[in-house]
Structure 1
Amino acid sequence: MSRRRRAKKRIISQDPIYNSTLASKVINKILLNGKKTLAQYIFYETMKNIQEIYKKDPLDILRKAIKNASPQMETRKRRIGGTIYQVPVEVKEDRGTSLALKFIIEKARERKGRGISTKLKNEIIDASNNTGEAVKKKEEIHKTAEANKAFSNMKF
């Protein structure tokens, strides 16, 4: 972490098909080993499958899934007098979105089955219905923050 100044926030370009920065963020999170065209193919295939099932805009379902999977509280480690405490902190909106995307894609990769696009589709649908592993991960983080509520006075 730099001591000089805060890092500038990068501007993410919009997705060419959906004209959405959210879609670009998802594609960048799916990205492995620099293969962006493959990540785009996976994302568009997933969105097409969601479109076929719900007959609605798949970005709305994705937004709902992200809203359901994004945590409001998390714990940060703080060292005081040789002891490390987990201090609960509120999550900003950008970080919440980023964490939700991370949870959804991570849990989709862990799912059983064939094809990442179908696994990602199922995880997004589950998260939009407030079920699924990504939502469980969010609730687990909330439980940890709730358990360490006593240390909330040790703010950063």
Structure 2
Amino acid sequence: MSRRNIAKKRNIYPDPIYNSKLINMLTVRILKSGKKGLAQKIIYRSLDIIKNKTQKDPLETLEKAVRNTTPLVEVKARRIGGSTYQVPMEVRAYRGTNLALRWIIKFAIQRSGTNMAIKLANEIIDASNESGNAIRKREETHRMAEANKAFAHYRY
């Protein structure tokens, strides 16, 4: 990482069909080997599956899922005087959204089955209903921060 200057934040353009930046962020997380068209197909199929299963707006379901899985605090390792402490830190909004999307994708990939669109749809539905592995990961992160609250004064 460069010590000289801070990386500029890139503009995120909304996706062509739903006109949502969140879907474009999700596309980038699924992306493999630069195959953006395939990643978009997977997402649009999963959004169709969500619409058929829940009879609700899939974009709202996705936003609710991301809101439910976004962590408020996380722990960061901080080295002080030869020992490493897990210091709880507040999570900024953009990083929280990134973590939520990353967890949703990670646990969708780990689900059993062959079709990624179905697995992603099920993970999003579970996250919007406050169940599933992504929610468990958020709870675990919060528990870690709670357990290490004593080291909060080492915050930087």
1:143 lines up with 2:143 in the alignment: yes
- Per the alignment, residue 41 of structure 2 pairs with 41
Q: Distance in 1 between matches of 2:111 and 2:130?
A: 17
Identity, % of aligned positions: 53
Partner SS, residue 23 of structure 2: helix
- Per the alignment, residue 13 of structure 1 pairs with 13
Q: How far does residue 32 in structure 1 lie from its aligned partner after superposition? A: 1.2
Q: Distance in 1 between matches of 2:8 and 2:116?
A: 33
Q: How far does residue 4 in structure 1 lie from its aligned partner after superposition? A: 2.5
Partner SS, residue 103 of structure 1: helix
Residues 93-119 of structure 1 show CA distances to partners (whole Å, capped at 9, x for unaligned) of: 100100000000000000011201100
- Per the alignment, residue 54 of structure 1 pairs with 54
Q: How far does residue 3 in structure 1 lie from its aligned partner after superposition? A: 2.6
The residue correspondences of 1:3-152 to structure 2 (distance < 5 A) are 3-152=3-152
Partner SS, residue 66 of structure 2: helix
Q: Distance in 1 between matches of 2:21 and 2:91?
A: 20
Partner SS, residue 153 of structure 1: helix
Residues 27-84 of structure 1 show CA distances to partners (whole Å, capped at 9, x for unaligned) of: 1101112111110110000001111122222110000000111110000111111111
Q: How far does residue 13 in structure 1 lie from its aligned partner after superposition? A: 1.1
Partner SS, residue 87 of structure 1: strand
Q: Distance in 2 between matches of 1:131 and 1:52?
A: 20
Residues 108-142 of structure 1 show CA distances to partners (whole Å, capped at 9, x for unaligned) of: 00001120110000000000000000000000111
Q: Distance in 1 between matches of 2:31 and 2:98?
A: 14
Scaled by the length of structure 1, what TM-score is found?
0.97
Q: Distance in 1 between matches of 2:119 and 2:98?
A: 19
Unaligned runs of 5+ in 2: none
Q: Distance in 2 between matches of 1:40 and 1:83?
A: 45
Scaled by the length of structure 2, what TM-score is found?
0.97
